[in-house]
Amino acid sequence: MSIAENYNIIKKELPSEIKLIAVSKTKTVEDIKKVYDVGCRDFGENKVQELLNKYDKLPEDIKWHLIGHLQTNKVKYLPNLVYLIHSLDSIKLLNEIEKQFSKCNKVADVLIQINIGKEEAKTGLNIEDLDELISEVEKCNFVKVKGLMATIPKGNEESCRYYFKKMKEIFDNLTNKEFKNISMEYLSIGMSGDYEYAIEEGSNMIRLGSKIFGKRNYDLNNN
C-alpha cells in the first residue's frame, strides 16, 4: 500500500478524540507531501536541524511537533517553528525555553517527557523529579505544559500495558490538581508497534512513523 493509503486506513480506525502525529523523521519532503495531501497536518521530527531543512519546503499550515531529545543550544531555533515540544525533561531545558521564547514574546507549548522505564539509554525526566520541575514551570511566563509524553521500553503486550497504565495514573493525578501554567490536555504515548494498547490504556495522542511511511532511511543527509 502507498503512504497515503496507510495514513487513511489508520485515521479511519482511530477514535475521533485521538490526535495522530505522523513521524516524518528521515523521510523526504515528497513523502511528507503525500500524507499532507490526504489531510494530515500534524508531523513529528526528532532533530531540530532536520526540521529546519524541511520547514520552508512544506505548507505553512503544518503543525510541527518536536518529539526528540532537545539540546539547549537548539532551542533558539524553535520560536515560530514548532506547534508543540514533546520533550521537556529538565529544569535546565525549561529555563532555556523560557529565555528564548521570551525574546520573541511567544509562548511555548510543551509536554513533559517522563522516562517511565528508567532506561539509561533514553532521555526523559525521572518521576521522582517531576514535582520539582512542575514548581519551576509555575514560575514561567512563556512556557505552558499541555500534558505528558513517554517512550516506553520495548516489550510484549503485558509490559506495554504496564507502562501505559503508569503514565495514565500520573496523567490523571496531575489532571485532578490545579497548577499555574499546566493543563493535562495530551497524553502522548503509543508508537507504531504498540499504539493500539496505548489507546486502550488512555492515550489521546500517538506518534506513528513506520506504520505510515514504512521503514526509516537513516542514510538521508538531513540529520
**Pair 143, 94: CB distance under 8 Å:** yes
- The predicted-structure confidence for 40-62, as pLDDT tens digits, reads as follows 999 999 999 999 999 999 999 99
Mind giving me the DSSP string for the chain?
--HHHHHHHHHHHS-TTPEEEEE-TT--HHHHHHHHTTT--EEEES-HHHHHHHHTTS-TT-EEEE-S---GGGGGG-TTT-SEEEEE--HHHHHHHHHHHHHTT-PEEEEEEB-TT--TTS-SB-GGGHHHHHHHHTT-SSEEEEEEE--PPP--HHHHHHHHHHHHHHHHHHHTS-BTTEEEEEEE---TTTHHHHHHTT-SEEEESHHHH-S--TT-TT-
**pLDDT value of position 217:** 62
Q: Decide if 30 is inside a domain.
A: yes
**Pair 32, 4: CB distance under 8 Å:** no
- The predicted-structure confidence for 79-134, as pLDDT tens digits, reads as follows 999 999 999 999 999 999 999 999 999 999 999 999 999 999 999 999 999 999 99
Q: Decide if 219 is inside a domain.
A: no
Please tell me the pTM assigned to this model. Answer: 0.94
CATH of the domain at 206: 3.20.20.10
- The predicted-structure confidence for 157-212, as pLDDT tens digits, reads as follows 999 999 999 999 999 999 999 999 999 999 999 999 999 999 999 999 999 999 99
Vertex 194 angle, CA 134 and 149, to 5°: 10
Q: Which of 117, 180, 183, 201 is nearest to 154 (CA)?
A: 117
Q: Decide if 184 is inside a domain.
A: yes
For the chain, give the mean pLDDT: 95
**pLDDT value of position 177:** 96
Strands 182-188, 143-149: pairing kind = parallel
Q: Decide if 218 is inside a domain.
A: no
**pLDDT value of position 216:** 66
What range does the domain containing 175 cover? Answer: 3-213
**pLDDT value of position 160:** 97
Q: Decide if 223 is inside a domain.
A: no
Please count the structural domains in the chain: 1
Q: Decide if 90 is inside a domain.
A: yes
How many percent of the chain have pLDDT more than 90?
Answer: 95
What average pLDDT score do residues 129-151 get? Answer: 98
Q: Decide if 220 is inside a domain.
A: no
Q: Decide if 187 is inside a domain.
A: yes
